Structure 1
Amino acid sequence: MDMGGGRLIRIMILVLVMVLVWKIWDYSALPVLEPPSFNAESEVAKGFSSSKLQKDQEQNSVLQAPVDEEHLLQEARKPIQKLEKERNNEDEKQDVKQKNDKIKKTQISKEKKFKKVNKTEKETKKNEDNQMKKGEKGREVAVKSTMRIEIYYEVLCPDSRHFIMKQLTPAYEKLKDILQVGLVPYGKAETQEKNGKITFDCQHGPRECEGNIVHACVTNIIKDEAKQIAIVHCMIDRNEQPMLVGKKCVEKHGENWGSISSCVSSDKGISILKHMGQMTHRLKPEVSFIPTITIDGSQEDQKHILQDFHKVLCKRYKGPRHPSC
């Protein structure tokens, strides 16, 4: 209860105490009556005195009745007790209200914290999504700046063998993350079709045509670019017996020779090599030397490509400078 309530209680107690004191003082100030005397001279006087004495005694008995102070105090305390009870009830209500307010504040605090956590999680996820998008965008940029390399060669050509083993393989090992390599084993061969049958006339004889078909099947069936180049590197080192060296090199790199052998001995191998010939004959300018290498479709600077392929690739690369450069 507030200060106004306490002051009111104290005023009421003071008033009641003053009333009580006043009552006690008023009763003690009343005169004490003497017992009446009897006069035998007259019966009338006697009767009058007797009647008066009776009245005085009754009045005196009333005036001199004992005052019950305890009762008065109890009666005075009743309004005070009532006020105290009301005050206690108010205090209890105030305590309950404070507890409820505290619980409400705690709940609000938890809700705010929960919202804050959710907001943080959403922001974190949003940042992660943005980073992912940036990463994907960066990868797209990397793909766009990758160089497309095509090697037009033939399997028994000494210059082709030298370029693949001494220039292509070392350069690819250093720059494979920015290269896309296509191998076209056809060279200066010619494709002939007669009575629905396709044959090839190769610069270094029939053995080379057979070897070209083996290489063509490897590049068609084995999808891993790094393995393609490794197997071709292995075969071209000793390519006089294409099927034998082909089996050895394919199995050495953990691939299935059976699928390659089936390709070579079927129309599939012939069809693939025919396609390689078409790619070679479409080159502009036309092939005059084997091997011929194109970088993003350009045959520019063939001399330096054959001498230092890695250096030319670094120079022609349009993306950020590669670490190996």
Structure 2
Amino acid sequence: MDMGGGRLIRIMILVLVMVLVWKIWDYSSLPVLEPPSFNADSEIAKGIPSNLQSDQEQNSVLQAPVDEEHLLQETRTPIHKLENDSDDENKEEKQDLKQMAEQTVIRPVYKEKIKDVGKESETMKIKSKKMEHEESINLDKKTKEKAKKNEEKEIKKGQKEREVAVRPTMRIEIYYEVLCPDSRNFIMKQLTPAYEKLKDILQVGLVPYGKAETQEKNGKVTFDCQHGPRECEGNIVHACVTNVIKDEAKQIAIVHCMIDRNEQPMVVGKKCVEKHGENWGKISSCVTSDKGTSILKHMGDMTHRLKPEVTFIPTITIDGSQDDQKNILKDFHKVLCKKYKGPRHPSC
């Protein structure tokens, strides 16, 4: 009985050894399996733990989209080989590899993120186009405003040119002396009223010299006036007024004021100049300096150049002509209206 039991044990040991040898031979005959040809970043190729899966998915946002079908085919190819070349004992291992491959391929999260980035890009494009549209509108407004201003300027310029063309001016020159009664009468009763009515068509020049004479000895200039030294002093005051004060209307108003009582030229000159809001100091400096003498000498040169020569004071020229002096002294306004070459003036 004992021998039978020991024999049974030896047979069982022999069977186990044979089974073990067979298993070893069976495994050695299997083909060498290469790892699946996944991408460098796949979890199966590198054996990345599942707990690092979320980090890899976040990094994949910056990569180009993956062709899921192509990757699935590459993943399934080695699995198909395993199913054909191995026996039933490796089915569980094959199934695990297949599940891992399928889980690795299907990861659409990063595509959703890329879609979000695309939406943001489209939003930025829309905003950019909107800003460009607004800027173009603003530019159009500025361009229109500028064009409108230019048009208004051109209209005003055209109006002025038409006014100049429609209302040409006449050049009037009054040759007079300050203590001459006829000069006083003409300036106060003819020149001032006519100028007030026709000043928009007149250019008036005052020449206070009359029948005086200019003398030069040893570089010094002196004057010999028809009504004496006081008149020469008054002529210089009037000459300085016409030189210092540029406003034509004020010149005529101050001369009108002074010639009314010109016996004391400096006193009445100060009073009349300040009455019309001008600086008497500048005129006084002109009178007492060589400047006043030089201006009066120039006035004398203008008077002596007249053709025909002066025979009566005052002498008035209209556009250089001395015609119709009698009627000028009688009704200056009427003569101006008659001689004016432009359209009829409202005051005529």
Please indicate the TM-score interval, normalised by the length of the shorter structure: 0.5 to 0.7
Equivalent in the alignment of 1:130: 151
Q: Is residue 186 of structure 1 aligned with residue 176 of structure 2? A: no
Q: Is residue 291 of structure 1 aligned with residue 314 of structure 2? A: yes
Following TM superposition, by how much is the alpha carbon of 1:194 offset from its aligned partner in structure 2, in angstroms?
Answer: 1.0
Letter in 2 for 1:214: V
Letter in 1 for 2:157: E
- The number of residues matched between the two structures is 241
CA distance in 1, matches of 2:310, 2:147: 54
CA distance in 2, matches of 1:283, 1:218: 23
1:204 to 220, 223, 227: 227
CA distance in 1, matches of 2:131, 2:274: 65
Equivalent in the alignment of 2:285: 262
Q: Is residue 324 of structure 1 aligned with residue 319 of structure 2? A: no
Following TM superposition, by how much is the alpha carbon of 1:218 offset from its aligned partner in structure 2, in angstroms?
Answer: 0.7
Q: After the TM superposition, which residues 13-162 of structure 1 pair with which residues of structure 2 at under 5 Å, given as runs?
A: 122-123=143-144, 125-140=146-161, 142-143=163-164, 145-162=168-185
Secondary structure of the structure 1 residue equivalent to 2:216? strand
Q: Is residue 222 of structure 1 aligned with residue 245 of structure 2? A: yes
Q: Is residue 281 of structure 1 aligned with residue 308 of structure 2? A: no
Following TM superposition, by how much is the alpha carbon of 1:253 offset from its aligned partner in structure 2, in angstroms?
Answer: 1.2
Secondary structure of the structure 2 residue equivalent to 1:232? helix
Cα deviation, 1:151-203, whole Å, max 9, x if unaligned, reads 11000111110110001111111121222111100011111111111111111
Letter in 2 for 1:307: K
Cα 1:275–1:324 change in 2 (3 A) is: same
Q: Is residue 171 of structure 1 aligned with residue 194 of structure 2? A: yes
Equivalent in the alignment of 1:69: none
Provide structure 1 residue ranges, at least 5 long, that are not aligned to the other structure.
1-103
Following TM superposition, by how much is the alpha carbon of 1:134 offset from its aligned partner in structure 2, in angstroms?
Answer: 3.6
Letter in 2 for 1:236: I
Following TM superposition, by how much is the alpha carbon of 1:318 offset from its aligned partner in structure 2, in angstroms?
Answer: 2.6
Cα deviation, 1:126-165, whole Å, max 9, x if unaligned, reads 3542342242244245457122211110001111101100
Following TM superposition, by how much is the alpha carbon of 1:289 offset from its aligned partner in structure 2, in angstroms?
Answer: 1.3
CA distance in 1, matches of 2:133, 2:150: 25
Deviates more, 1:291-300 or 1:186-195: 291-300
Higher relative contact order (CA 8 A, sep 6+): 1
Secondary structure of the structure 1 residue equivalent to 2:252? helix
What is the aligned-residue identity percentage? 78
Letter in 2 for 1:136: K
Cα deviation, 1:223-264, whole Å, max 9, x if unaligned, reads 111111111000000111111111111111111212211211
Cα deviation, 1:95-142, whole Å, max 9, x if unaligned, reads xxxxxxxxx9xx999999986886576456435423422422442454
CA RMSD of aligned residues (A): 3.6
Cα 1:166–1:118 change in 2 (3 A) is: same
CA distance in 2, matches of 1:283, 1:135: 40
Cα 1:143–1:194 change in 2 (3 A) is: farther
Equivalent in the alignment of 2:333: 310
CA distance in 1, matches of 2:335, 2:130: 66
TM norm structure 2: 0.58
Cα 1:320–1:240 change in 2 (3 A) is: same
Deviates more, 1:300-309 or 1:177-186: 300-309
Cα 1:122–1:322 change in 2 (3 A) is: farther
Secondary structure of the structure 1 residue equivalent to 2:206? strand
Following TM superposition, by how much is the alpha carbon of 1:316 offset from its aligned partner in structure 2, in angstroms?
Answer: 2.3
1:243 to 266, 271, 275: 266
CA distance in 2, matches of 1:161, 1:214: 15
Deviates more, 1:310-319 or 1:238-247: 310-319
Letter in 2 for 1:209: C
